[in-house]
Structure 1
Amino acid sequence: MPGGLVALLDDIASMAKLAASSLDDVAGAAGRAGTKAAGVVIDDTAVTPRYVTGLSPARELPIIGKIALGSLKNKLLILLPAALLLSAFAPWAITPILMVGGAYLCFEGVEKLWEKLSGHAHADAAAEITDPQELEDRQVSGAVRTDLILSAEIMAIALSDVEGEPILTQGLVLALVGVAITIGVYGVVALIVKMDDIGLRLAKAQSGGVQALGRGLVAAMPKLLAALSVIGTAAMIWVGGGIVAHGLDEFGMGALPHAIDHAAEVAGEAAPVAHGFVQWFVGAVLAGIVGLAVGAVIVVVYEAWKRRSGAAHG
């Protein structure tokens, strides 16, 4: 009897070690996948604050909460099951879907860039709404739709990193990445949109140093939002370009992605300091050039189609 109990305890200890090892594997895979999706996460963080611009400050955090909940539903209820089905029955489709999403990011980024350079921005339909609840619902709906596209890219990138793992590990990694990124993104967004309120409170403090910090936060807010807009557009283009370029390798057209990787590696090795950063930066710039080219082609085709469609209806 004691021997059987010892054997049982040994089995439990072995199972516990195996479970801990599996959790370590899941956490490691989730970390790698999250790192690869960082560019899309930057874009998601940069895009979201504009959905609360012009709304009541008292409604900013509740609206961000609604968007975050919609983002979680996108990732866990729609994209996670779809990704696992793809992995089980059509793994060949993962790379093409990634490339289509990457091309869309290039298009979005270049279109934003074109609008800024040409001065022809799209009319804001939300600006015509006067009912606060209707405006809030429209903003939340638009943000969740945009999040679905960006979340699909995040989940596809994460899936591509764990493609050879067991289906349970894939599910756990995707769920962990989805939850962690949602909390991270919308936590940062909440901090950004309330930064001016925090600054105003600090500006009323007794301490002169705290007051100066508060005034600095208020003054920095418009510059931060402008910088996030630029970073978000750049992230769309370089992430999209990188996804398209490296997707070509899967179809036997590896000259371009290999050239990008080689040039980045050579630049990193030649740099006197910060080798890793230089390698990443050169790779991002070259991927951005690819993204600009891909996005420009799609924008030209799209604008031509719009003109022809308008002429036909005219």
Structure 2
Amino acid sequence: MPTELEAPPSAPTADQIEQQLSELGKDRLMQGGLRRLALRFLIDFKLSGRYEQSPRPISKAIYAEFYEFAVKKTGGIAPKDTEASGKKLFGELIDALKDYYAGPGKEDALIITLQGGMGGGYEPRFKWNAGLSAHKSAPNADVTAPDYGVIANTDFMRDIEDKVPQGTTDIWIAASDLSNVGDETSAYSDYVRKVVRSNALRNVDYTYICPQGHAGESRIQNLRDCFNDTPGKLHLHQIPLERFLEISVVLTHFISLNPLAEKPDAYMQLPSLDAHRAWIRLNHKDSARVVAKMKSLINSFPEDDA
């Protein structure tokens, strides 16, 4: 089934890659086993800048990290020989992608392949389908390079949210999970609350959107405590999961530090074992879409008492 992606001749944006990943996940070639999860992992691995590290990650290390990721996501058990299992799984994934684009995906706008062979590390490659004439003569094609960027090895809280510019009035966060996960008493959790309270004392309002049933009582209370006697206010909107997925087909976090600006920004967190260091800064068009959807959901669902 062809996807309806905007396909300019410039490099694909993160949002377009996510759309194509969603389309691939619907096909039978990605069903069963761990193929879909493996492709998700490899794309996140690339977008978070891991392949650019020196020395370049070797396949054996990638296999081990993938199965650690898979166990965390599925609750399953890692194979005894992650190298052999990983080589088999990722080899099958390469073949499945080839079969998909030779068959049901032959008219998809965006093609995703994996670089195999010695030193390839199964690195994903993204390219537009040159066989589609629309790509050659799209009347409204944006021929400029996209302005999104991967924020690799950056702690979003320490390096960005803790340094919002003077005059910031609102921070909007679409959080896929605000349940009581992790250690709420850890030093990092204390630091997060310190940053939020510091911004609240500077008259910054925080608005959270999360799926219904994904807001833990203690975590929300800790958030509310950050706003005691501050000019900044906390707003929490719990919405049906299916509506939250209108922001993105992937359950993840989005943050905008200037949602009311004429050209708002937006950041997307990549699912990762080190998620607070794996973010994408979306381009202006994708940021505007994400923020507009957040605004629509905020207006559609009343906020919880905060």
Scaled by the length of structure 2, the TM-score of the pair is 0.28
Which structure carries more helix by proportion? 1
Q: Which has the larger radius of gyration?
A: 1
